[in-house]
Amino acid sequence: LADNPLISHRLILPDFFKELASKIARREKLSKQKESFNGSL
């Protein structure tokens, strides 16, 4: 089973998506902080 590429991809992909999601979340958080910072000026 471990030799099956589909199964190994399934084990690898969640980490990839987690990283991607955290990168997007960080970017959104930064842009929101910039917006609120500009709004407070």
pLDDT at 16: 79
pLDDT averaged per 10 residues, the chain (length 41): 59 78 92 81 66
pLDDT at 36: 81
Distance CA 32, CA 40 (A): 12
pLDDT at 23: 93
pLDDT at 6: 62
Note down the domain range covering 5: 1-41
pLDDT at 39: 76
pLDDT at 35: 81
Domains contained in the chain, number? 1
